A and B are shown apart, each in its own frame.
Chain A
Amino acid sequence: MAQTVLEFRAVVKRFQSVNAVDGISFSLQAGEIFTLLGPSGCGKTTTLRLVAGLEEPDAGEILIDGKAVAAPERGLCLPPEKRHLGMVFQSYAIWPHLTVFENIAFPLRVRRETGEVVRRRVEQALEVVGLGGFAERGATQLSGGQQQRVALARALVYEPAILLLDEPLSNLDAKLREQMRVEIRALQRKLGLTVLYVTHDQAEAMTLSDRIAVVQRGRFEQVGTPEEIYENPATPFVAEFLGRMLSFEGTVSRNHTGSWVEFSQGAGRSAPSSLSESLSHGTRVRVLTRPEDVEILGAGELTANQLAAIIEQVAYLGDRFEYHVRAAGVQFVLSAPKKQRFRPGDAVRLCLDSGRLHCRPL
């Protein structure tokens, strides 16, 4: 049973009259990467800063290792330096007047470690982030990626209870970002770190996280593993935020043989396995699917879970085709492999995956 390192209990943080964090509760287990994912201004960074002690909550309670660090009702709010955390800022916040070594040594010097301990642990930390030999560089002589590693080493050097990462990769170029993503994950596994990660990049969240919380307007829309929230988004916002969703309108039909959805304009029918019993015959519904779960087939007889469609435009992208398709009165874009090729005006069938359809009443 993993132990709880961080716990939020109905935490509220207001800026003027806006609730930047609106009664969030969650807990973070030792050794996991927990990601706060959401658009800018959703409150995810504020949440992180509440953990760090850089903001004071207006209500609720924050506990680290079972001990309250902020509880406004009791007038308690530990300052950041008493919380034993490590944090990597979006800007890295490398102190420009100190060398790489002194930057990383800072948390140890603050804690009055002896010179020998400082030297050994800074060297270790530099090795861990792959910057061995950079100790005496001036902090401003480093590239973006190297600064990032220094910031990481500085946050790790005194083995913090939680590592807080605030959009650490957003200032790197695409290639470096991918590389650092892998490295952070490997580092976390190796050192058994507990990480609270903030990002607006869904690919980053999906690849790095053990669990993701999708945040909007200061609230958690959904918490779950990457797969859970992608495959079973709890709200339209979550579905839209994590990739595209296609949406078709239809009507529920039920008789003694079973139940299915008739798509509008007689485009076809489908029997989603998730079709709820509570949706009675004749209910208007919206059927949702991820575009990558839709396969394009050539013209032919429509069978179950198929939609009649027309190809309107074709774009050649080198590694695949992109088709502008119209079906059941909706226009959308589908990607398809190069092995089959359709032309504008072609009538096609769209094959849906009944196990991956979601139904919502209109």
Chain B
Amino acid sequence: MKSPSATLSLPRFRLHLRPIRMAEVGFLVFLAVVMGLPLLFLLSGSFNLAAPGKPAVYGFGNWQRAFTDPGTLSALWMSFLLSVVRLIPAMILSVMFAWLIARTDMPGGRFIESACWIAYFVPDFPLVLAWILLLDPNFGFLNSLAKSLPFVEGPIFNPYGFLGIVWVHTSTGGIWFKVMLLVPVFRRLGATLEEAARVAGANTTAMLWRITLPVLSPMILAVAVLSFIRGLQSFNTELLLGTPVGIYVYSTKIYDYLQREPRAYGEATALGSVFLFVLAILLFFYWRYLSGNKKFTVVTGQGYSTLRVKLGRWRYAALAGCLLYVAVMMLLPLAFLVIGSFMRRYGFFNIASPFTLNHWYNLLADPIFLVALKNSLIIASVTAIGGILLYSALAYLLVSRRTITAPVLESLCWVPHVLPGILLSLGVLWLFLATPLRFFLYGTVWGIAFALILADSPVTTQAFKAGLLQLGADLEESARVSGASWAYAYRRILLPLLAPIAAAVGLMNFGSALTSISTPVLLYSHQSRPLAILLLEYSFTGELERAAALGLLITLIIGSMMLIARKLGLQLSRSD
């Protein structure tokens, strides 16, 4: 299209591709501004000694202060250490789960898969609260239980600290998402590879160790690296369980800097930039690994496997193990969240009439709660609808094959996928404070929705892209040849066909907007405080029972939305 002899046809470009070119340029500018500028402000802000919005004074003072603070490096180190350590049990368990579900005759595999799907959407903050209710040294239920045993002196469990964080992560983020990613990988493994191993004389164990796992190892490693990078973004658990005992990761450290009076923007930004730099290096190698690895092509073998490993009597043991894990890691904390929300004083089972509805009454009657609920609903709706409009258009542009800048657009919309919420929040904060945007967006629900829409860009765009690719260009083109204008074809053909995806993605983004803490935490004000931040405040002020009620309420809203989304055909776990 761009060969030198095409100079004659240049006017044609102007005449006919103008709308789509304009859309492309528009998107490019928009994405560069909203994704790129926060990053740029983050980097330049780290050299700015003045507070945001004040005349800039450049220097290395922030970096100096950040790195002479012994807490900074230890926070970075702790981020990596935590992310690596909790990855090990999570990977082993999720590979086992995925193998049992996809490759063996374990009964109830579909059920376990659905359980993982649902567990993935249970918001993590209420779960962290629930584990506090269970494990707290003073009032934790399991500790009280243990105390009644002989030879036990004092509390034996303690959620505050390194091991507590690892344990709670195994319950919250832990294995659910990895299982959802790995099950299709195990399912898609060409049956012939395993069958050939069988014919060659391998028993189940030999086949598993010498064929199945080695063949899948690139994919498993990819999932592990992805989880590691996502793990670095964690904020909530570390905030609740690490900060009280002085364990900081970089994200809680940034939060800490910004809670000081006056806010230490400079140090926070410097720390964020360092982390960004490390992250960029990690991502570069991850990307190199993914794109350079030809082994991936083997895995996309043909068809489904009919060969399932027969576990014999062990199949029930396997199922019991899976069920036990789900029960302990998900049902137990959820149950205690319910109990906690109905207890007069949590942990005191022996007082007269220990149970009460008061916390629910107080919560629902609290004017602050009502404002937060309204804020949350506005934020989540705007996020969901805005995301659908913006990213369906972007996906259409990317799929239409007519954009020259598709790779740039594509990588811009992946930025938030790896950018931790707190850094995105910090970058957006800089964007608001240093530009006239602060008059419209700073401290408002719109500003929070803006940041959340950015955070949703990778998944939403990919969902629409996948949908459009699956539909194929033919459906639209045949409408055009049949005589429909672009707008008519879009309205009558593409829109109805994309509606289920839009609804499902919208619900998902609605849900994540409701539960996100790390993204709005630097952007809210008292007028725009959403529910999740209110939950954070309740748990800081020790109103655990009311926090449990609010956490449960949020969980219920999310749960019902996800069930609707699933009915609408959103199938995250099957990529066919």
Contacts and interface: CB of A to CB of B under 8 A. Distances in A.
A97 B485 CA distance: 19
Contacts of A87: 478, 481
B492 interface: yes
B6 A58 contact: yes
Interface string B413-438: 00000000000000000000000000
Which of B474, B492, B493 is the most central at the interface, judged by chain A CB atoms within 10 Å of its CB? Answer: B474
A182 interface: no
B484 interface: yes
A95 B475 CA distance: 6
Contact of B12 (A77, A90, A107): A77
A90 B15 CA distance: 30
Nearest to B14: A75
Nearest to B480: A80
Given A14-B3, A93-B474, A110 B9 contact: no
30 contacts: A14-B1, A14-B6, A17-B3, A52-B481, A53-B480, A53-B481, A56-B16, A59-B9, A72-B8, A72-B9, A75-B11, A75-B16, A79-B486, A80-B477, A81-B481, A81-B484, A89-B477, A91-B472, A93-B477, A95-B475, A95-B497, A97-B496, A106-B484, A106-B492, A107-B482, A110-B482, A110-B488, A154-B478, A155-B482, A164-B481
Given A15-B1, A58-B1, A81 B485 contact: yes
B466 interface: no
B12 A72 contact: yes
A89 B483 contact: no
A155 B496 CA distance: 22
B479 interface: yes
The 6 A-B pairs with the shortest beta carbon distances in the complex, nearest first, are: A93-B474, A80-B480, A93-B478, A107-B482, A75-B11, A72-B9
A14 B9 CA distance: 12
Contacts of A155: 482
A10 B102 CA distance: 56
A59 B8 contact: yes
Contacts of A85: 481
Contacts of A340: none
A91 B469 CA distance: 14
B89 to A, nearest CB: 44
B504 to A, nearest CB: 16
Interface of B: 1-3, 5-6, 8-9, 11-12, 14-16, 472, 474-475, 477-486, 488, 492-493, 496-497
Contacts of B481: 52-54, 80-81, 83, 85-87, 164
B539 to A, nearest CB: 47
Interface in A59-80: 59, 72-73, 75-77, 79-80
Contact of B493 (A56, A95, A151): A95
A343 B183 CA distance: 59
A77 B480 CA distance: 14
A16 interface: yes
Contacts of B482: 81, 86, 106-107, 110, 154-155
A170 to B, nearest CB: 14
Contacts of B8: 59, 72-73
Contacts of A111: 483
Contacts of A107: 482-483
A158 interface: yes
A20 to B, nearest CB: 11
Nearest to A151: B478
A95 B479 CA distance: 9
Contacts of A96: 497
Given A14-B3, A77-B16, A110-B483, A97 B497 contact: yes
Contacts of B484: 81, 106, 110
Contacts of B5: 59
A15 to B, nearest CB: 7
Where chain B touches its partner, the secondary structure class is: helix
Contacts of A90: 474
Nearest to A77: B16
A16 B488 CA distance: 31
A56 B477 contact: no
Nearest to B484: A110
Contacts of A244: none
A97 B182 CA distance: 32
Contacts of B485: 79, 81
Contacts of A72: 8-9, 12
Nearest to A72: B9
A144 to B, nearest CB: 15
B470 to A, nearest CB: 11
A84 interface: yes
Contacts of B1: 14-16, 58
Nearest to B479: A106
Nearest to A12: B5
A96 B470 CA distance: 12
A55 B182 CA distance: 40
Which of A90, A93, A155 is the most central at the interface, judged by chain B CB atoms within 10 Å of its CB? Answer: A93
A76 B8 CA distance: 12
Given A77-B16, A81-B484, A154-B482, 12 more contacts: A16-B2, A54-B480, A59-B5, A72-B8, A77-B15, A91-B472, A93-B474, A95-B493, A97-B496, A110-B483, A154-B478, A158-B483
Interface string A21-65: 000000000000000000000000000000011101011000000
A241 to B, nearest CB: 27
A58 B1 CA distance: 8
Nearest to A13: B1
Contacts of B15: 75, 77
A352 to B, nearest CB: 46
A310 to B, nearest CB: 42
Which of B472, B474, B478, B483 is the most central at the interface, judged by chain A CB atoms within 10 Å of its CB? Answer: B478
Contacts of B488: 110
A52 B482 CA distance: 10
Nearest to B495: A97
Contacts of B492: 106
A344 to B, nearest CB: 36
Contacts of B486: 79
B204 to A, nearest CB: 39
B487 to A, nearest CB: 11
